[in-house]
Amino acid sequence: MSKTPAYLQTKSHYEILDGLRGVASILVVVFHVFETYSGDRFHQIINHGYLAVDFFFVLSGFVVAYAYDDRWEKMTQWDFYKRRLIRLQPMVIMGSIIGAALFYFQSCGEFPLIATTPVWKMLLVMLVSCTLIPLPTSLDIRGWQEMHPLNGPGWSLFFEYIANILYAVVIRRFSKTLLTIFVIIFALLLINLLVLGPQGDVIGGWSLNATQLNIGFTRLLYPFFAGILLWRMGKLIHIKSAFAFCSLLIIIVLFIPRIGGPDHLWMNGLYEALCIIIIFPLIVSIGAGGNLTGKYSIKICRFLGAISYPLYITHYPLIYMHIAWVSNNKVPMQQGLWVGLLLLIVSVAIAYASLKLYDEPVREWLKKRFLVKKGA
């Protein structure tokens, strides 16, 4: 038997969208560094940094629809699942391994279960985390009740997988009209959570209980499927300097302070609903409609896009260590931010090394092994 070339070639990328994903990933790391010194959700320094996840969901929906909407006559559902697993799963495994390697360096009062967790249990959690199967709170080994206690951001990948399954099973078959109806319903659910809910924000989604799963699914459904609808509508906005404009808009959105305080939760909820429902799709539309002309702009966007996912999925074990260092040594923010800057640099270096030395070679091998048809 001989092998024929891969029958679904990778499409060209929206390079500005890749760059914006990288900008948002870097802001996530910075947000988590500052979060170490914040007392609660009302006093964050990059107050809406967590909204980067919701922006990622819009981007993912748009890109998935662009990549696969016109390919279903050429591939099965299993073909789709294989392609998505090959794209995402290797770095999920790497994030879990890094989380396990650094786990016992994170012991502090913030993480009360680490000191009493035996190695066998930590390794069991690592193996399960490599599959992205969410862990119940009874298997928590940190004390934060995360579904992925070795690498917290794994929760968003868990929901990303669910969105991909929903898309492959049913949503891809929807007409534009039917998809619009569902997206409106998902928007109303999001508004209900944000404006009428008990928090006034979308913080949450990382624990395996009813409240957190409700937050997670509500955060997922509108942005991901709004991204798909945005692609199908084809309404892209063309402006000059799209990458710079969209990057600045993302920074402004995430840096806006908490609105309304604890006495007027609905005000902040209204702001976040505006960001997720209107501003994020607008940014994607502008980014997809823009063009890069300078060679340095192209290089920057390609680099940011390449490291965006590895950075997002590998940085948090270092954040756990940063939290432990600050907690154990009572480090003030003015002193700790220098270490935070080093953490950002190291996180980018780990992401790039993981990409080049592990992720790209592994994905290339997996593509040749599982995405190439066999012929006579």
Task: Show the domain range for 246.
Answer: 18-86+172-202+217-358
Closest by CA position to 218, among listed 191, 182, 178, 184: 191
Residue 158, CB-side half-sphere exposure with 13 Å CA sphere: 23
Give me the mean pLDDT over the 287-295 stretch: 91
**Residue 13: predicted pLDDT:** 82
pTM of the model: 0.95
Give me the mean pLDDT over the 175-188 stretch: 98
**Cα dihedral 32/189/14/73 (nearest 10):** 130
Residue 150 makes CB contacts below 8 A (sequence gap 6+) with 96, 99, 100, 103, 122, 125, 126, 129, 141, 317
Q: Give a yes or no: residue 53 inside a domain.
A: yes
Give me the mean pLDDT over the 233-262 stretch: 95
The tokens of 325 are what?
């260092």
Give yes or no for residue 1 having a pLDDT over 50. Answer: no
Three state DSSP letters for 117-143: CCHHHHHHHHHHHCCCCCCCHHHCCCC
Q: Give a yes or no: residue 59 inside a domain.
A: yes
Handedness of CA 222, 223, 224, 228 (dihedral sign): positive
Q: Give a yes or no: residue 12 inside a domain.
A: no
Digit-coded pLDDT (tens) for 331-346: 999 999 999 999 999 9
- Our count of domains for the chain comes to 1
**Residue 307: predicted pLDDT:** 98
More confident of the two residues 25 and 292: 25
Give me the mean pLDDT over the 257-261 stretch: 93
Digit-coded pLDDT (tens) for 17-75: 999 999 999 999 999 999 999 878 888 889 999 999 999 999 999 999 999 999 999 99
Give yes or no for residue 82 having a pLDDT over 60. Answer: yes
Q: Give a yes or no: residue 311 inside a domain.
A: yes
Instruction: Report DSSP letters for 275-323, one per residue.
Output: IIIIIHHHHHHHHHH----SHHHHHHHHHHHHHHHHHHHHSHHHHHHHH
